[in-house]
Structure 1
């Protein structure tokens, strides 16, 4: 694989002008290759599981073209917005492709978004059409219909239709068929009209503070993202198979679609989070993208299962990972692996580590981690098992991908190097700045916010504290606004401490660090309902409620041990002096998490202010 400096940047001038051509070029190149597969919910395959349906690039293109023609027939014009309110499923991608082929601009709405914010997003974007997954999403739109006069039609995947304002996918396809009969060259003619600077998507950030902001992302951004990964060599190719469960309302999901189109591999799609582990063994993917929380949960579950087994199984498990981590460190440092260690590894890999890989289908070449920092200990644990996690970095404002590690250029603790053809530098206060084809032109209807984020030279100010080493590897410390200074003048980076606790404690859900302008650091902790309930059942708390379990002396003692272990590895001024376990986990419904599961720290702090103040009473 070529190094960053050796990559020919001619691809920047040779990229397709827009996402529609990006997709159509793929269809022409490999029409009969598999593009997508998805489970037919409610069906039964011969093995007792769900049946999976597969489509070629040509079949997916034909379906998307019919829907695109239907949208054009109903009056959709270039850059007009089309909302999609749905979980991740094949129909979401089909709708997005249809919007791209019709020259419209997809507007994303998380399926968990409440009625008020759903109406705000669709109204602020001035959506002309909306794809709504089911009756639940339809009800949100219907409740605010008077506030959404711009909407011409709502197209539902599974909901009830009325034949007028609300129609189904088949209805839209039938309208498209009639239009294509009279305009057979519609798709190609429309694609030719779309420029690189036309609006492709309006992605609303889930917003840890205030109203969601619409990020305007152009066609050039999405095409560039896919092409920038393709030219890096053997990272991904047509022989790979992706498993996609990520929310397509988030840019992480959309960028993986662009990369898929550029590289030509098939994708298996199922957004049901409770099916992820089962699906991995069914699909047997070669790679998958996920947020760190998924890797933390998998790590915790495997560790807890091993602890429950105890005995020789646990001893072998611990020995295998101790050996694997030590071996991997030697390999990373370019040092030889001693013969005894190599022999032990061969045995322990067969007995233990291969079984861990099998839980992910047995064919995973690597995972891609993004949307939040990945804890180094978690990364090392997976590497010891023979599974590489390539950490990436980006934001909605730069179409998700700004930097990522590769198979050859992968330095633990960093997010890799910047995408070829883009620029990065460190600005004031060690803030990471980004410039390139993937950076937004601005926020929708928010000129003052745009001026804060983009400077006159086109640099996007990320708000992240970072460093770049001599080889170009980027290390992210955390959000600048989340870093704080104690009253003793010491800086603390909460994300680093919080991720360390997640790696140590298999029962943790959230660990929030506080202490700005205080004389010590404190923390609020929430526990994962499933794992702590299972622990409680085997420790005399069976049948107790979640609140009863997490407030019990037994759990206090259990978590206290992990806090002590955490403190042993922290600087003196970072150690957690006081902490409490909240009686409930944080949720989207309670407004404590964004739809992309980021913590709304300010909301939690405001609601728990009395408890936090009590930590410091008399100090």
Structure 2
């Protein structure tokens, strides 16, 4: 068993003296740095900012408005919106009012929205726009406890639906009459009070509500602060879904550390925005890094000639430097000179595409391909991979950006205060302040998750090395055995393929009880459009391009390359290329872009079965 962190130095006092609640943490931040920038947000084509004092004033007005609607301590307020400034303000208002946030993705289907709102017992729902309001209106009868819906963008109806502006006005009037109203609510909060219910996006059955108390969030913030990887001079770019635990924890960190955060949930604006915002760090799912890697390498291949050769030379030099630095050694002599030239001619230009100030990226939510991580490090953009679950308030493990504190292919060391052990069957078991108190209204599921030993059973298979670095093998439920009795870990193979094939979007491995391994493959629409132009298919529809014999031959080449790195029983013998990509909207991926393997293999069972027909 590995106990807590392997950091040589961390500030234990920050963990021991952490705030009593998120409400206390927010109030303390506003009081300590009122004039510092808190949040930056897009308005048209420009960006505007709020100081911590301004953020506090708006959040308190919304909080008082919720109190005026009758929301009591630990009662739930559901938030159904994309990532935007108003989500941040509303969530903090819920915390400060002493209530608890129920997070809902805006892509959630109406039936599931109704279930989550009803199951959580939410009294008020804050909805982004008329689309979200209509989901609620259609199921109003099954949500009798909802007294009001607050719409961010849209009009009220004079009855059930009011606008966010109206809520703020009601709150401001309440605060004028009772200036200490929100301070009194915060003072009543304790570490054990419920702060958040996040529903896991299960692949079968209804989602389960994970209950996270204030102590889980304040621990996460204090533990990350204690290891010293962030400070008040940092600038975060936050686009991740705030309904997801990864996004939510990145919203608590600035309250602890004091750095500003630029907020914009539009995925199609990430590349454009980071060049303008110039963040020092950003969290993302692996798919974002895979797409960026594929796009840049293909762009260089399209250039050809001297530019392509220079690019490969420079990244090759960067890899040598990266390998040295992993051992704690800086380049000297000829390599140092070469790296200085490579940096000036090529590497700095790649860094500038991400704003030019990035100290590191944080990757989470799914496995990051090691080759992709090493390529980014070679160009001077370090990605530190972390690991956690909704049930552990996101971060349980994370690599440190400093020399000696990270290993590619691992998810790093445990956060201080988090304990880990590996069960006999390889399952990762966790215990610590960040772990959930249980599933909402599901005592049996809670008992099963913790077992008799009271350790949380993650469902992930992994191994700890002698230095405390954790490596994830696969999800326990995703491991399968072929008919010849050999085990296959699909996510490892899927991640490898994305590092090999720059056109890949998704690879879904199948072979449970079968005589060989097969796969469903989808190709990235943007990447394949460039390939089509170079292969006399410019202007043709996506479906026609990806199902063409020429495209299949191209993909077969990358599959062959993958198979050379696999054991014989793991190799992909047959595959099908879908005529469309997998999407969140069609239910193939979670909102954090994690593959719903069982959903996909069930949906395309006929095509997979056909591969084994002979």
The answer to whether the superposition gives a TM-score over 0.5 is yes
Deviation by residue 1:263-305 (Cα, 9 ceiling, x = unmatched): 1100001111110000011000000000001000000111111
Specify the SS of the correspondent of 1:429. coil
TM-fit CA distance, 1:169: 1.5
Counterpart check, 1:36 vs 2:39: yes
Task: Give the corresponding residue for 1:365.
Answer: 359
Aligned partners of 2:130, 2:531: CA distance in 1, in Å? 38
Contact kept, 8 Å, 2:80 with 2:127, in 1: the verdict is: yes
Deviates more, 1:52-61 or 1:465-474: 465-474
Task: Give the corresponding residue for 2:255.
Answer: 261
Deviation by residue 1:373-393 (Cα, 9 ceiling, x = unmatched): 111100100000011101110
Give matches, 1:413-432, under 5 Å.
413-432=409-428
Specify the SS of the correspondent of 2:262. strand
Aligned partners of 1:160, 1:216: CA distance in 2, in Å? 32
Task: Give the corresponding residue for 2:455.
Answer: 459
Task: Give the corresponding residue for 1:171.
Answer: 166
Task: Give the corresponding residue for 2:521.
Answer: 525
Task: Give the corresponding residue for 1:46.
Answer: none
Specify the SS of the correspondent of 1:428. coil
Task: Give the corresponding residue for 1:95.
Answer: 90
Aligned partners of 1:407, 1:590: CA distance in 2, in Å? 36
TM-fit CA distance, 1:472: 1.4
Aligned partners of 2:279, 2:331: CA distance in 1, in Å? 30
Deviates more, 1:579-588 or 1:59-68: 579-588
Counterpart check, 1:504 vs 2:500: yes
Q: Which of 71, 77, 87 matches 1:76?
A: 71
Contact kept, 8 Å, 1:414 with 1:476, in 2: the verdict is: yes
Deviates more, 1:191-200 or 1:159-168: 159-168
Give matches, 1:411-560, under 5 Å.
411-560=407-556
Q: Which of 279, 285, 288 matches 1:291?
A: 285
TM-fit CA distance, 1:336: 6.3
Deviates more, 1:469-478 or 1:536-545: 536-545
Contact kept, 8 Å, 1:206 with 1:596, in 2: the verdict is: no
Specify the SS of the correspondent of 2:20. coil
Specify the SS of the correspondent of 1:458. coil
Q: Which of 190, 201, 215 matches 1:195?
A: 190
TM-fit CA distance, 1:326: 2.2
Counterpart check, 1:150 vs 2:153: no
Q: Which of 369, 372, 376 matches 1:378?
A: 372
Q: Which of 195, 201, 204 matches 2:199?
A: 204
Kindly tell me the number of residue pairs found equivalent between the two proteins.
608
Gaps of 5+ in 1: 44-49
Aligned partners of 1:197, 1:578: CA distance in 2, in Å? 52
Contact kept, 8 Å, 1:9 with 1:421, in 2: the verdict is: no
Residue 336 and residue 61 in structure 1: after superposition, are their counterparts in 2 closer, same or farther (change >3 A)? closer
Report the RMSD for the aligned CA atoms in angstroms: 1.4
TM-fit CA distance, 1:258: 1.1
TM-fit CA distance, 1:611: 2.1
What's the TM-score, normalizing by structure 1? Answer: 0.96
Deviation by residue 1:320-341 (Cα, 9 ceiling, x = unmatched): 1122112211221345646222
TM-fit CA distance, 1:614: 2.4
TM-fit CA distance, 1:148: 1.1
Specify the SS of the correspondent of 2:477. helix
Task: Give the corresponding residue for 2:12.
Answer: 9
Task: Give the corresponding residue for 2:604.
Answer: 608
Deviates more, 1:485-494 or 1:500-509: 485-494
Contact kept, 8 Å, 2:506 with 2:521, in 1: the verdict is: yes
Specify the SS of the correspondent of 1:4. coil
Contact kept, 8 Å, 1:515 with 1:521, in 2: the verdict is: yes
TM-fit CA distance, 1:442: 0.6
Aligned partners of 1:294, 1:478: CA distance in 2, in Å? 21
Residue 473 and residue 28 in structure 1: after superposition, are their counterparts in 2 closer, same or farther (change >3 A)? same
Task: Give the corresponding residue for 2:135.
Answer: 140
TM-fit CA distance, 1:210: 2.1
Give matches, 1:270-289, under 5 Å.
270-289=264-283
Aligned partners of 1:444, 1:3: CA distance in 2, in Å? 33
Q: Which of 124, 129, 137 matches 2:124?
A: 129
Task: Give the corresponding residue for 2:591.
Answer: 595
Deviates more, 1:339-348 or 1:25-34: 339-348
Contact kept, 8 Å, 1:208 with 1:599, in 2: the verdict is: no
Deviates more, 1:326-335 or 1:134-143: 326-335
Task: Give the corresponding residue for 1:217.
Answer: 212
Contact kept, 8 Å, 2:14 with 2:225, in 1: the verdict is: no
Specify the SS of the correspondent of 2:12. coil
